[in-house]
Amino acid sequence: MLLKVRPFLKWAGNKYQILERIRAVLPPGKRLIEPFAGSGAVFLNTHYSQYLVTDNNGDLIKLYLTLQAEGESFISYCKSFFTESNNSKSCYNNLRKIFNSTTETRLKSALFVYLNRHCYNGLCRYSLQGSFNTPFGKYKKPRFPEDEMRHFYTKAKNAIFLPADFREVMRAAGKGDVVYCDPPYVPLSATASFTTYSSGGFGIDDQVELAELARQLAGRGVPVLISNHATEFTLSAYKGASIELFDVQRYISCDGANRGRVGEVLALFDARLPCD
């Protein structure tokens, strides 16, 4: 079994715990394209010669670009915010306010790391006005992910990071590319929706368009793997793909009683393979 490297960001739906399943079905290729970057767990734990890592969350991509450009200097700067005095609700709210108002990229990127590690459950959540609004997490001593950031910096030497919509990224894929999509998941119930990791959300129409783009790319010889909740909707939307179903532990619910195992689907669109 290959060693796994943890991302330096906490993230809803982080794929770290199912990496073996993802790596087992990802086809070989020259470049891996990830239109939904998230914490970068798949990027960090695969071995393609090139990577195109994108997301429509501009704050996230600016953070990755800053770390890629500055390395150790930026890591040290981020660490300076992880102090005992900053681990309080009042300091957190003040730094969150600065994050939402500053236009200075280096400061905003460092504060992204601080907020991610100090906020509730590591949720990256924005208001409809585009302001980060996740509340304080009340952790005794949030750990600064120094080693994880250093590994990301090393891996990023073979990557291009771009703020972009999944549509334009996927349409630009070509021969030698493999696409892995980890979109905001389809909700399991009417009250379970979590699609505001960037302003604008991600609705059912977006899910349908993503599946259609995957079919189009497969038809052009570009394999696409999509992960999502296993629901009646997703199984219908991914019709024609090679499907793998399994259960996975979820921890995102604020209700401990609801942090159980849920159905997961990996749908591989690849014209070279027999499909279910």
Q: Looking at the predicted structure, is the pLDDT value of residue 219 above 80?
A: yes
What are the strands of the beta sheet with 242-249, ordered from one edge?
159-163, 50-55, 31-34, 177-181, 224-229, 261-269, 242-249
Q: 233 pLDDT exceeds 80?
A: yes
Is the predicted pLDDT of residue 255 greater than 70, yes or no?
A: no
User: With respect to CATH, is domain 67-147 assigned 3.40.50.720?
Assistant: no
Dihedral of alpha carbons 117, 126, 71, 7, sign: positive
Q: What is the mean pLDDT of the chain?
A: 91
Which tokens belong to 38? 């998230």
What per-residue confidence (pLDDT) applies to 167?
Answer: 97
Provide the pLDDT for residue 1: 53
The residue ranking higher by pLDDT, 192 or 227, is 227
- Third-level CATH fold of 15-57+157-269: Rossmann fold (3.40.50)
Residue that has been written with the tokens 């990996």 in this structure = 266
Q: Is the pLDDT of residue 194 over 60?
A: no
Which candidate, 127, 55, 133, 119, places its Cα nearest to that of 81? 119
Q: What is the DSSP letter of 227?
A: E
Check residue 18 and give its pLDDT: 93
pLDDT at 191 over 80: no
Which residues make Cβ contacts (< 8 Å) with residue 47, sequence separation at least 6?
A: none
Q: In this structure, what token pair is assigned to residue 28?
A: 């070989």
Segment 264-274 mean pLDDT: 88
Q: Where do the structural domains in the chain lie, given as residue ranges?
A: 15-57+157-269, 67-147
What would the mean pLDDT of 45-64 be, rounded to a whole number? Answer: 97
- For 10-29, write each residue's pLDDT tens digit: 998 779 889 999 999 999 99
For residues 4 and 19, what is the distance between their CA atoms, to the nearest angstrom? 8
CB 3 within 8 A of CB 47: no
Q: Which residue has better confidence, 195 or 158? A: 158
pLDDT in the model for residue 200 = 54
Does residue 229 carry a pLDDT above 80? yes
Q: What is the mean pLDDT of residues 236-252?
A: 87
Phi-psi region of 144 (alpha: psi -120 to 50; beta: other; left: phi over 0): beta
Q: 60 or 188: which carries more pLDDT confidence? A: 60
Residue 2 has pLDDT above 90, yes or no: no
- The per-residue pLDDT for 14 is 78
DSSP one-letter string for 157-196 = GGEEEEE--HHHHHHT--TTEEEEE-PSPPPSSTT-----
Nearest Cα to 134, choosing from 158, 100, 101? 100
